[in-house]
Amino acid sequence: MKIKVLGPLNAEVNGISIVPTAGKPRQILALLALYPGRVVPVPTLMEEIWGTDLPQSALTTLQTYILQLRRRLGTAMGPDTPGSAKDVLVTRYGGYLLQIPTEAVDVHTYERLVAEGQQAFEDGEDGHAAKCLREALDLWEGPALVDVRVGPILDIEVMRLEESRLVARERRIDADLRLGRHVELIAELTDVIARHPQHEGLHSQAMVALYRSGRQASALDVYRRLRQRLIEDLGVEPSPQLQRLHQAMLAVDPRLDVISGPRRTSTFDLYAA
């Protein structure tokens, strides 16, 4: 079985999709897929589907959804496959689990690559960090579970994954900046700061990429527009780190020309106190 949650929900056995068309069984499959080999308690599944307003027939209906998933799974497995659908979508005391390896689900491959990339970044291995993080981000095919109606449990998981995706992208850009890939990053950073107009870390990266590409005026304009937005929308000034980065650009601080060096830090923390 191969399952993808980093984008539209996709689950295949022997090349045959087992993703149901009905909304609630899709939610159940998605939630079980996020925890392969681990029991998801019945109350958690019920909360995901119905929230706090459980119908009287909640348990019976949940069991019906599980049966529907097993039927699709059994059809895809075929008669020649060892074991049965019940051996894959397993009933345990108090809940259900998908008895599949973690690497069968794309999110776990993603998290392994991110962890490896983060460690390489902290160790100053910028090339390896950029490679791992780029491979992790390439696994995404759109917003997580974009075609699944999410309840309260999946909503938390989707937000966590999207935040992880943004952090991984920011760290990958940091690694690329330390490798001197400034010009190559400008188009990507122009797009990403437009999508995240109040994200100071991404704006700091855009400023550094532009500055190191000989576009000091454009770098300062990124700061000006961010400051104006923060003041108008939130009534706050940019953080001290970003203000110091701005002053360093005005002063043409030679430290801004350092690409890779002994200090293993993010762009945003370049001028941290």
Query: Mean pLDDT, 10 residues at a time, over the chain (273 residues)?
Result: 95 90 94 94 95 90 93 82 80 92 95 96 93 97 95 96 96 92 94 95 94 94 96 94 93 76 60 48
What whole-number distance in Å separates Cα of residue 47 and Cα of residue 26?
14
Whole-number pLDDT of residue 86 = 87
CA–CA separation, 185 and 182 (whole Å): 5
pLDDT of residue 81: 66
What is the predicted pLDDT for the residue at 273?
Answer: 39
pLDDT of residue 193: 96
Question: What is the reported pTM?
Answer: 0.88
Q: Within 13 Å and on the Cβ side, how many CA atoms surround 262?
A: 0
Helix (H, G, I), strand (E, B) or coil at 92: strand
Cα-Cα-Cα-Cα dihedral of 181, 184, 185, 191, to 10°?
Answer: 180
Structure tokens at 272: 């941290």
pLDDT at position 260, please? 45
CB neighbours of residue 156 within 10 Å: 12
Instruction: Tell me what pLDDT residue 188 has.
Output: 96
Kind of pairing, strands 16-17 and 2-4? unpaired
